[in-house]
Amino acid sequence: MMKPELKGKKKPNEPVGLRGLLSWFTSEGFLNDVLKKRLGISDNLINKFKNNLQPKKKIHLGAYISWILTFLFIIECLTGMFLMMYYHPTIAEAFEDVRYITNIVPYGWLIRGIHFWGSHLMILFVFFHLLQTYLKGAYKPPREITWISGMVLLLLSLGFGLTGYLLPWNQISFWASTVVTEVPMAFPYIGHYLKLIARGGENVSQVTLTRFFSMHVMALPALTTFFIVLHLIPIRKYLIPRDLITHFIAILLCFALLISLATLSPAPIHEKADPYHTPNKVKAEWYFLAAQEVLELAQHLDFLGGWAPKLMGVLIQIFVILILFLIPFLDKNPARNIKKRPFAVTFISIGYCAFIILTLVAKFK
């Protein structure tokens, strides 16, 4: 015997009609008809989301860094897509396209400035996030993969800075890229081939610009997205924080900072690249200055032989990066409290102080 249907009650698969569509824009209709019936979201998840809207009494600024980094990556992708609409990766057009975007395209200067400063802030916050994770001992088991993927994301962020630096094809970026792509020559036997792979030839040219552009807009974004997902899988149950409102406010403040920087200190244009005129001093961006200073200090190792200065300068930096990758396996102390990890805290403090000092020395000398 069939049960009589309740009068006025719709089946879940019954077409809603225009009146039903309008009800989706009401709080009750959106909750019951869209979230529960159409999307299948349970009451437990909805209640958890509502609870997470309540801010914590004690605010930890470090908890917002991961959200800010995700926001900055999204901003970089969006502004980058806008810039690609007016940019041609050719040595004949690249510099003029940048000038056109900055001076002619409506609000092009603002979009380019946000993209420019967003890359700097993203790298800066990655360094902060690395320090925060280390001090909290969040690299310890079972979070080794989270730490390793985070280190890869740091290198990818630097890769964005390196490849994007050449794209305006100005005098500063051209010669800075020339210096950077000369670094592989420090390795015996394979160094010349590595330089050819990076440049696509003996000199920085159209092929180099094409390769850097492809890496910047295709390979690096894809790899970054993959490693962000890998980075978040072990901590997926913490992705929705307990204080969504304050996180949203932090993101708004970060966006306000981006707009302020882009307005008060617009992205520079410089002069068009001239392969036949070498500037007196070529300095990299701030996040590469420490590495540049290490290479210059390594010149004092020439007493070991002509091979030593360049090779040792590169090997020292590779060794530091390798140590950072292996930290979860080298640190056998199970404690996470910084008071119980004096050696680990001293190690990272020395490392960051050395990085800051080398950066300042290279910047102001």
Per-residue pLDDT of the chain (365 residues; tens, 9 = 90+): 445 544 445 555 566 667 777 777 776 777 677 777 767 676 666 665 666 555 555 555 667 888 899 999 999 999 999 999 999 999 999 999 999 999 999 999 999 999 999 999 999 999 999 999 999 998 998 889 999 999 999 999 999 999 999 999 999 999 999 999 999 998 988 999 999 999 999 999 999 999 999 999 999 999 999 999 999 887 766 666 667 778 888 899 999 999 999 999 999 999 999 998 888 777 889 999 999 999 999 988 887 777 788 899 999 999 999 999 999 999 988 898 999 999 999 999 999 999 999 999 999 88
DSSP annotation of 10: P
Q: How far is residue 214's CA from residue 233's CA, in Å, rounded to a whole number?
A: 28
Whether residue 283 contacts residue 359, with contact meaning beta carbons closer than 8 Å, is answered with no
Nearest to 245 by CA among 59, 54, 20: 54
Nearest to 287 by CA among 175, 156, 139, 136: 156
Q: How far is residue 124's CA from residue 129's CA, in Å, rounded to a whole number?
A: 9
Can you give the pLDDT at residue 105? Answer: 96
Can you give the pLDDT at residue 28? Answer: 73
Q: How far is residue 197's CA from residue 193's CA, in Å, rounded to a whole number?
A: 6
Whether residue 86 contacts residue 97, with contact meaning beta carbons closer than 8 Å, is answered with yes
Can you give the pLDDT at residue 6? Answer: 47
Whether residue 153 contacts residue 135, with contact meaning beta carbons closer than 8 Å, is answered with no
Whether residue 348 contacts residue 134, with contact meaning beta carbons closer than 8 Å, is answered with yes
Q: How far is residue 142's CA from residue 362's CA, in Å, rounded to a whole number?
A: 39
Please, where are the H alpha helices in 85-143? 94-103, 108-135
Cα torsion 345, 347, 353, 356 to 10°: value is -110
List strand residue ranges (DSSP E) for 166-207, in order. none
Can you give the pLDDT at residue 1? Answer: 46
- H helix or E strand, kind and range, residue 318: helix 308-330
10 Å CB burial of residue 191 (0-12, 13-18, 19+) is middle
SS3 string, 224-265, reads HHHHHHHHHHHHHHHCCCCCHHHHHHHHHHHHHHHHHHHHHC
Domain range annotation of the chain:
61-364
Q: How far is residue 299's CA from residue 353's CA, in Å, rounded to a whole number?
A: 22
Can you give the pLDDT at residue 14? Answer: 62
Q: What is the pTM of this model?
A: 0.85
Q: How far is residue 73's CA from residue 156's CA, in Å, rounded to a whole number?
A: 12
Crossing angle for the helix pair 108-135 and 286-297, to the nearest 10 degrees: 60
Whether residue 266 contacts residue 83, with contact meaning beta carbons closer than 8 Å, is answered with no
Q: How far is residue 80's CA from residue 221's CA, in Å, rounded to a whole number?
A: 11
Can you give the pLDDT at residue 354? Answer: 96
Beta bridge partners of 170: 272
Can you give the pLDDT at residue 23? Answer: 74
Helix, strand, coil abundance in the chain, percent, nearest 5: 70, 0, 30
3: its two tokens: 């049960």
Number of neighbours of residue 35 by Cβ within 10 angstroms: 17
Which residue type occupies 281? K
Q: Which CATH number fits domain 61-364: 3.30.750.200, 1.20.810.10, 3.40.50.720, 3.10.530.10?
A: 1.20.810.10
Number of neighbours of residue 38 by Cβ within 10 angstroms: 13
- State in Å, rounded, how far the first CA of the chain is from the last one: 92
